[in-house]
Structure 1
Amino acid sequence: MKVKGLTRRTLLRGVLQGSAISVGLPILDVFLNGNGTALASGAPLPLRFGTWFWGCGMTPERWNPQAEGAKWALTPELAALERHRRELSILSGFNVHLDGRPNQVHSSGVVGTLTGNAPMVPDEYVTPTLDVLIADAIGTGTRFRSLEIAASGDPRHSYSRRSSSVVNAAEVSPLALYQRVFGEGFQDPNAGEFRPDPALMMRQSVLSAVKEDRQRLMQQLGSGDRARLDQYFTAVRQAEQQLDIMLQEPEPLAACVLPDQPQEVATGTEIDQVARNHTLLAQLMALAVACDQTRVFNVVFSPGASNLRRAGSSANHHQLTHEESVDPALGYQPEATYFVERSMLAFGEFLDILKSVPEGDGTLLDNCAVLAHSETSLAKTHDVSGLPLMLAGRAGGRLRSGQHIKGRGDPVSRVGLTLQQLMGVPVSRWGTRSMETDRALTEVLV
């Protein structure tokens, strides 16, 4: 359908506070060729959700506890998490059901966990990831709908996606994260005075200013373009709502402490360097959450097909999982397993950081639900059955911790459904094909 006078340069025009404004349009079918080629108020403490990812899985015999329920015993690869045993639940035996589709190595596991879908091709996200769905429910009242960090220095190492092409890129520099969160635009909730930014005030309500133009345009377009424009205007409105938050005086938060600006640090894949960067990023992330700048966060310690390596070695974690022989006396790959154990040390430190922030009558961790996961179980075979999963925190008293739950081959989508319901997402079923489920994990729900 072609509309007379409508081109790619068309702008919706209006007047806002006496000033002329204009709003551009996304690429519509009508612009293309026939082939389409061209708290102090008494409100409860905020509820938060986060993910923590490490690559290349674990060794099932050294990871999975034997006993179920609350009497499970720590295994060798979970030993570093002993101090968090009471606020941690271990989930074992949950699978990505491929339904005849190929196992897209280092992709099917993470995509299946976060979307409830087995991808046809690597990194195919046909639906939004779990964190995006939750951010749509709880992240609209904060300055950032979500924040992402990656410790190994590559902003592409993010598994937070609304679609295959819409990725929430990760911050990899502590200094850049500090400037983004606590720099221009940050309103200290404990400052005692509030001064809205007049530049932001002028950016409010652009959709209302172009209402007549918008309605006239919608009447001229076909159904496909109307749907695309509706999605576009919804995104613009969400951005306006985020701006509106920045124009409101924040409620005082005792847990919010403005950090000192960090020094720039080098990034890379050497394990000690990654661990140091992870610590700095995690500390800033925790303060951003405590200051209610975001309620949804995602952390990547190492990517799928983990590229972590020891100092002086050219062999990385992923390479070792395939090339290192199993030690006949130990029964596992000791060099590859070293990186699993270091990853668990880092996750334990991440929980330490969240737990170190006092909030209300507990800690920041008490008001979080954190999903820790990897993209495979045994990386040597790229297995997506028995994926390693952990739930940490108490979600404001909604999440029962200290459990070991055996999935016995159930789809991993049960975990995603549970977390969405825990966070208030109105969903009763989730996943596709044999991953579709309406069964939440009642064992962890209070």
Structure 2
Amino acid sequence: MMESLLPVVASIKPPAESEVKRLICTGAYLGYHREAIYPEHTGFEFKLSPTLEPLAKHRENFSIFSGFDHSPAKADGHDTWQTYLTGKDRNSISLDQLAASRIGTETRYQSLQLSAGKAKFPMNRDAKGRPMPMISRPSVLYRKLFAVPDDQQRMDYILKSGRSALDAALDDAKRLRRTVSE
């Protein structure tokens, strides 16, 4: 499998002399457990939470924001998900898309909107405030990132069948679980 990635890896150009900037915005419909994500203290010398500890070597390259108030956008706290990156009720570009328009030209893809499962309420909005399409299937993301023209027919078959190697692995895990629990 790794051999299939070689043409893709070989085609990736290293960044110019200055480092390429990136922005990652994450959200959860019901929010995060505060102690698991947010540091106890603010400022540059903050101590990483246990959940973020694996990112320790990148500590100087990211910031954590919390405490945003979206009350003007919607009255009900659960409805604010759609305004998570805009802070407004409608017709506003989201923070990630604003950043993508400025720094996305330095990367292979200006912006990728990913979702774990079907995105009922997308949080990413274009310049006119329209929801951005989300990628929710790992096989679709894999194709977008790693497919080379030689793989196109095989990838089309996999995508049309609605199955991927991850789906097969999940089936194996379920079968194993049933066997072990008997």
TM-score (norm 1): 0.26
Identify the match of residue 103 of structure 1 among 75, 82, 104: 75
Query: 1:89 deviation in Å?
Result: 4.1
Match of 1:54 in 2: 28
- 2:110 aligned with 1:145: yes
- Checking the alignment, whether the CA contact within 8 Å between 1:157 and 1:170 is kept in structure 2 is no
The change in CA–CA distance for 1:185 and 1:48 in structure 2 (over 3 A counts) is farther
Query: 1:128 deviation in Å?
Result: 0.8
Match of 1:176 in 2: 140
2:41 is matched by which residue type in structure 1? A
Match of 2:41 in 1: 67
Match of 1:263 in 2: 165
For 1:114-263, list aligned pairs within 5 A: 114-117=85-88, 119=89, 125-140=90-105, 144-151=109-116, 153-156=117-120, 158-162=122-126, 166-183=130-147, 263=165
Identity across the alignment (%): 25
2:86 is matched by which residue type in structure 1? T
Query: 1:72 deviation in Å?
Result: 4.4
Give the strand-richer structure, 1 or 2.
1
The change in CA–CA distance for 1:68 and 1:96 in structure 2 (over 3 A counts) is closer
RMSD: 3.8
The change in CA–CA distance for 1:98 and 1:143 in structure 2 (over 3 A counts) is same
Query: 1:129 deviation in Å?
Result: 0.7
The change in CA–CA distance for 1:180 and 1:156 in structure 2 (over 3 A counts) is farther
Identify the match of residue 82 of structure 1 among 53, 59, 75: 53
Q: How many residues align?
A: 141
Query: 1:63 deviation in Å?
Result: 6.2
Secondary structure in 1 matching 2:55 = helix
Q: Structure 2: any 5+ residue segments left out of the alignment?
A: 1-12, 151-163, 169-173, 175-182
Distance 1:64 1:41 in 2: 31
Secondary structure in 2 matching 1:145 = coil
- Checking the alignment, whether the CA contact within 8 Å between 1:150 and 1:157 is kept in structure 2 is no
Who wins on radius of gyration, i.e. which is larger?
1
Query: 1:176 deviation in Å?
Result: 1.9
Distance 1:64 1:155 in 2: 25
Secondary structure in 2 matching 1:53 = coil
The change in CA–CA distance for 1:66 and 1:264 in structure 2 (over 3 A counts) is closer
Q: Which has the higher contact order (CA 8 A, sep 6+)?
A: 1
- Checking the alignment, whether the CA contact within 8 Å between 2:122 and 2:132 is kept in structure 1 is yes
